[in-house]
A = this chain, B = another copy of it.
Amino acid sequence: MHIIHPVILCGGSGTRLWPLSRKSFPKQFTPILDGRSLFQATAARLNGPGEGLDFAAPVVVTNAMFRFVVTEQLVGEGIDPGAILIEPEGRNTAPAICAAALFLSRTDPDALMLVAPSDHLIPDDRALRSAVAEGVPSALSGHLTLFGIRPTRPETGYGYLELAAAAEGPTPLRRFVEKPDAETAARLIDDGQHLWNAGIFLFRASDILAAFETHAPEVLAAVREAVEQAEVDLGFLRLAPEPWSRAPDISVDYAVMERSAGLHVVPYDSDWSDLGGWDAIWSVLDKDAAGNAISNHATAIDCTDTLLRSESQDVELVGIGLSDMIAVAMNDAVLVAPMDRAQEVKDAVAALKAKGAGQATTFPVDHRPWGWFQSLVVRDRFQVKRIHVHPGGALSLQSHFHRSEHWIVVQGTARVTVDDEVSLLSENQSVYVPLGSVHRLENPGKVPMVLIEVQTGSYLGEDDIIRYEDVYARDGAE
């Protein structure tokens, strides 16, 4: 049985699924298709034994903003969080994969790595694992091994892998084919020799590092320093910012794969989607007889081939007489577009950013290591928040210069510290936190604690905070 180390890349934040995917909480962490996130599905697919493989605890590469979400979602799936490498900034896939390879080679230079994006849909876990198992002999023979999806339509949005011959099993790669035009795409899908490049790779750490050494030594040099100088912080490995910033911002395809020889490709014949837009989401969802994919709290009247999604139990979305349309409604943002313009959603995000709308990048719900909070209303001199604290969770010991807070527990039990006073509050009890007082909120119980916080004051930003102690070792407003 081969031990394989999953390397899961989840530092990115695409905007093509706005308003559901935003910089502050991107699509891989959102339950888009069912109760679990794509990141969780990816981690679960690449976990434990099965199909002749045994997966070790994952190496996750992400950024600081998502580190607690990663831990929480892995724990939610019952998966050992393994190693979480924190990128000081996003530098595309080459530095991320290089860092994971260097990290793994510390304990085993020949560690077998399966690198996977965290935001794709692969419904058949066993088929994927079988494909990985098929690729193991290639990887153990020193071939950088890629996985290619058997195309089902003349897609112009993906790059293609051209095989040396039409084949079922692992096959030498002849060349990479850039995103084709429609005519070329139509030709490519018929010969059995062209597969979609899924961005999934299998290789030994030593082999990929040798390839970096040969083809992208400047990536390897910078990342090596960033890993060597990394700081361990509550189990997270924080890559060193200064050397990391010297690593080129480049994909592993451009930096290494397209320059290497002897690549092998394992064809993958089962369903796959990159979920790279609302059109892709629509195509994988269950649809009614008229081709509509309709969520809870959405109503379609005489619509065809339309995606209608309400992402909030508090928002009713109604579409009348729509054809080939996308409508996505959230508490704070709504998108409406024809299906064939799904790729332009990123322009919408840019437009919102330009006009200074917070919805471009952030959500009203903010995830923290201790739970989450939602701003219910913000006005000039007051704000109301709903705060959920996980069992055992604790907010930092803190104070504010510009606001007082009223806390009312509406579910569970809170342990509250205000200056020298510590008290236990249960449902329907409240406490006042005067301006300037040093305070902390904890959930000592076994069930979630919910409280309503009413802030009043002249300035209500998250950055009016002084932290005295924090079990999560956070900086500033995070």
Contact = CB atoms under 8 A, between A and B. Distances in A.
Contacts of A335: 318, 320
Nearest to A344: B320
B299 A322 contact: no
Nearest to A351: B299
B348 A320 contact: yes
B456 A428 contact: yes
Given A376-B384, A430-B430, A337 B351 contact: no
A372 interface: no
7 contacts: A316-B332, A316-B352, A319-B336, A320-B335, A322-B337, A334-B334, A384-B386
Interface in A330-384: 331-338, 341, 344-345, 347-348, 351-352, 355, 357, 359, 376-377, 379, 381-382, 384
* Most chain B C-beta atoms within 10 Å of own C-beta, residue among A299, A348, A450, A454: A454
Contacts of A347: 301, 320
Name, among A310, A382, A406, A428, the residue most crowded by chain B CB atoms within 10 Å (CB to CB): A428
A144 interface: no
Interface string A424-453: 000110101000000000000000001010
B432 A430 contact: yes
A46 interface: no
- CB-CB nearest 4 A-B residue pairs: A382-B410, A320-B337, A376-B376, A321-B341
Contacts of A299: 348, 351-352, 355
A318 B348 contact: yes
Interface in A389-424: 404, 406, 408, 410-411
A411 B384 CA distance: 13
Contact of A454 (B314, B322, B341, B410): B410
A321 B326 CA distance: 11
A337 B321 contact: yes
A360 to B, nearest CB: 8
Interface string A451-463: 0101010000000
A321 B301 contact: no
Contacts of A319: 336-337
B404 A406 contact: no
A310 B334 CA distance: 9
A316 B336 contact: no
A104 to B, nearest CB: 43
A127 interface: no
What is the interface residue range for chain A against chain B? 35 or more
Contact of A336 (B327, B359, B452): B327
A320 B428 CA distance: 46
A317 interface: yes
Given A314-B331, A430-B430, 7 more contacts: A297-B357, A320-B345, A329-B334, A336-B336, A381-B411, A408-B454, A428-B456
A250 interface: no
B321 A456 contact: no
Nearest to A308: B336
A384 B382 contact: no
Nearest to A374: B377
A457 to B, nearest CB: 8
A327 B329 CA distance: 11
A65 interface: no
A281 to B, nearest CB: 16
A331 to B, nearest CB: 7
Given A299-B355, A316-B333, A377 B381 contact: no
Nearest to A403: B428
Nearest to A350: B301
B410 A381 contact: yes
A44 interface: no
Given A381-B410, A406-B430, A333 B315 contact: yes
A450 B383 CA distance: 12
A325 interface: yes
A332 B315 contact: yes
- Which one of A301, A408, A430 has the greatest number of beta carbons of chain B within 10 Å? A408
Contact of A404 (B315, B318, B320, B428): B428
Contacts of A406: 406, 408, 430
Nearest to A312: B332
B333 A318 contact: yes
A329 B351 CA distance: 18
A201 to B, nearest CB: 34
Interface in A122-168: none
